[in-house]
Amino acid sequence: MKFTDRLEGNVVVFEITGKIMGGDQATLFHGKIHEYINLNKKKIILDFAGVDWINSVGIGMLVSAFTSIRNAGGRLALVNIDKIENILTLTRLITLFEHFDSLDKAMKAL
C-alpha cells in the first residue's frame, strides 16, 4: 500500500494505491489521520481507485480510521470502492462507511 494526501479546501483526500495489508504504511497512514485531526481537518475522503486488494488487517485499518475520525466529530467517506466493495459487503461494513461513486460527489457531500 502506498498513499498520498492533500488538502482541498477543508477536505483531506487520501489517494491509496496497491494492496492494503497493514505494515509500515498503515502506521504512517494512521499517523497522518491523527495529524489532520489535530489540525482540525476532520472531513476525510479515502480514494480507492488504485487499490487492488484488501485483507483483514487492511479492514481493521479502515475501521480504526473511521473510529478516530468519528470520535473527533469528523466524517469519513470512501470513493471508488469497486475492487473492495465485495469484502465491505460481506463484512457488513458497507453500511458503516459513507461511500460515493466519485471524488466530486464525495467532496460535495462533505
Cell of 76: 469519513
pLDDT at 26 over 90: no
Cell of 80: 471508488
pLDDT tier for residue 76 given thresholds of 50, 70 and 90 = very high
Q: What CATH number is given to the structural domain containing 103?
A: 3.30.750.24
Number of domains the chain is built from: 1
Cα–Cα distance, 20 to 26 (Å, whole number): 8
pLDDT tier for residue 22 given thresholds of 50, 70 and 90 = confident
Beta-carbon contacts of 64 under 8 Å, excluding residues fewer than 6 positions away, are 30
pLDDT at 24 over 90: no
Domain that holds residue 29: 2-109
Cα–Cα distance, 101 to 70 (Å, whole number): 22
